[in-house]
Amino acid sequence: MIGIYIHIPFCAAICNYCNFNRGLHDDGLRRRYVDALVTDIRSCASPDITADTIFFGGGTPSLLESAELARIIAACRDSFAVADDAEITIEANPESSTAAALAGFRAAGANRLSFGVQSFKDEELRRLGRLHSSQTARQAVKEARAEGFDNLSLDLMMWLPGQRTEDWLASVDARIEQQPDHASLYLLEIYPNAPLRDEMARAGWSVAPDDDAAEMYLEGLSRLDRAGFEQYEISNVARPSSRRSRHNRKYWQEGQWLGFGCGAHATFNGERWRTVSSTAEYIDRVTAGQDVRLDRRRLGEVERREEALFMGLRLTSGLDLAAMQLRHGIDIWAQYGQDLAPYVTAELLIHEPGRRLALTRNGMLLANDVMAVFIGGTVR
Ligand code: SF4
């Protein structure tokens, strides 16, 4: 079963830290984009391809009208064998998630909502240039439940400018009060030219020291543990396990997915490609019947193996050593054990010989260091 990713590149305002493929929302442009998306999806129709997830990411997919969402989902269902019980996720911003919009999304077929809440502190939301308040977020959760969404994820970002450990933990507690089914916690990464950098310099905001960021992560997860959530990936927890993101597991566990819309990526049948990133170019090319897919290439065995190693290690279940041997013909411990052993000694990594290799929670803080062991190696 593959996943289908659909990119919706429109936002009502541009957040000062954002590095995603997005632009300002415009009604006319959105309508033309949806027409192009539907045409593109239908032109790739292949009823033999089975899919069990559709994920609308952005940008702000909740800016779509429900009829547009329904058209895109219908195009997917007509073009591919989409499972009846497919997980259909829409990323939503609280300010565009009115009761009417949510009812429409539900009727259109979406059954999972991922709210970009980011913080329950209004001051922090203002610093990030977000349009919603903590109250808007609470209201959106309430409306979503009332409209029958029983698979709700709330995203929070930590290590925000001016954020102290207690501020972060207050947001974590507020999130727990909302009783989501799934929660993600991301570290804010401020890219070099982000307008937020200038604002931080002007306002004298700084981010907490590294040690505090580590404490934020560990204590935030402890509170989620105590509230009954189960961590299953570095940045993700769910309650119960049936609410784990089915779509994202395709990225972590060597799955396959098709991507539609500007800037979407795809990995399918051993190949990878991307779609043109400009919204206008995407519309023009689809309308003119031209190909929108670029840089199509076959994935090499080394690349597939390295990616399987570092993506798989993101999961708390870790790497299944026997499965890796079977799929990639590699004895991971024989190959990398010498470099990995110090991490096991430091209790950052768990090695169950012949069975599994997994990061401990402390190890997740240093995941990049551990994963670097896998990059550029040659099989012995
Ligand atoms: S809403 Fe999300 S995608 Fe849009 S500008 Fe803000 S961070 Fe970027």
pTM higher than 0.85, yes or no?
Answer: yes
Atom of ligand 1 nearest to the CA of 22: 3
Atom of ligand 1 nearest to the CA of 59: 3
* Ligand 1 within 6 A of CB of 20: yes
Distance 346 CA to ligand 1 centre (A): 38
Q: Look at residue 380 in the predicted model and tell me its pLDDT.
A: 45
Distance 171 CA to ligand 1 centre (A): 20
Residue recorded with tokens 């597939």: 304
- How far the first Cα of the chain sits from its last, in Å, is 33
* Ligand 1 within 6 A of CB of 59: yes
What's the rounded Cα separation, in Å, for the pair 266 and 256?
8
List per-residue pLDDT tens for the chain, 380 residues long: 999 999 999 999 999 999 999 999 999 999 999 999 999 999 999 999 999 999 999 999 999 999 999 999 999 999 999 999 999 999 999 999 999 999 999 999 999 999 999 999 999 999 999 999 999 999 999 999 999 999 999 999 999 999 999 999 999 999 999 999 999 999 999 998 999 999 999 999 999 998 999 999 999 999 999 999 999 999 999 998 789 999 999 999 999 999 999 999 999 999 999 999 999 999 999 999 999 999 999 999 999 999 999 999 999 999 999 999 999 999 999 999 999 999 999 999 999 999 999 999 999 999 999 999 988 654 44
With the most atoms of ligand 1 within 8 angstroms of its CB, the residue from 7, 10, 19, 22 to mutate is 22
* Ligand 1 within 6 A of CB of 94: no
Strands 152-158 and 182-187, by their bridges, are parallel
Q: Look at residue 150 in the predicted model and tell me its pLDDT.
A: 96
Q: Look at residue 375 in the predicted model and tell me its pLDDT.
A: 81
Residue 131 near residue 12 (C-beta atoms within 8 A): yes
* Ligand 1 within 6 A of CB of 250: no
* Ligand 1 within 6 A of CB of 34: no
DSSP secondary structure string for all residues of 124-175: HHHHTT-S--HHHHHHHHHHHHHTT---EEEEEEES-TT--HHHHHHHHHHH
Distance 118 CA to ligand 1 centre (A): 11
What's the rounded Cα separation, in Å, for the pair 153 and 182?
4
Neighbours of 38 (CB within 10 A): 20
Q: Look at residue 214 in the predicted model and tell me its pLDDT.
A: 95
HSE at residue 236, side-chain half, CA atoms within 13 A, is 22
Closest CA to 362 of 165, 224, 214, 223: 214
Q: Look at residue 241 in the predicted model and tell me its pLDDT.
A: 77
Nearest CA residue ID for atom 5, ligand 1: 14
Beta strands in the chain (DSSP E): 2-8, 10-11, 23-24, 50-58, 81-92, 112-118, 152-158, 182-187, 230-233, 236-238, 257-260, 265-268, 271-275, 293-298, 319-320, 349-352, 356-359
Asked, as a colleague might, if the bond just before 47 is cis with ω within 30 of 0, I would say no
Q: Look at residue 7 in the predicted model and tell me its pLDDT.
A: 98
* Ligand 1 within 6 A of CB of 24: no
With the most atoms of ligand 1 within 8 angstroms of its CB, the residue from 10, 15, 17 to mutate is 15
Beta strands in 270-348 (DSSP E): 271-275, 293-298, 319-320
Atom of ligand 1 nearest to the CA of 13: 5
Q: Look at residue 377 in the predicted model and tell me its pLDDT.
A: 52
Nearest CA residue ID for atom 8, ligand 1: 18
Residue 230 near residue 239 (C-beta atoms within 8 A): yes
Nearest CA residue ID for atom 3, ligand 1: 59
Q: Look at residue 138 in the predicted model and tell me its pLDDT.
A: 97
Strand partners, 242: none
Distance 19 CA to ligand 1 centre (A): 8
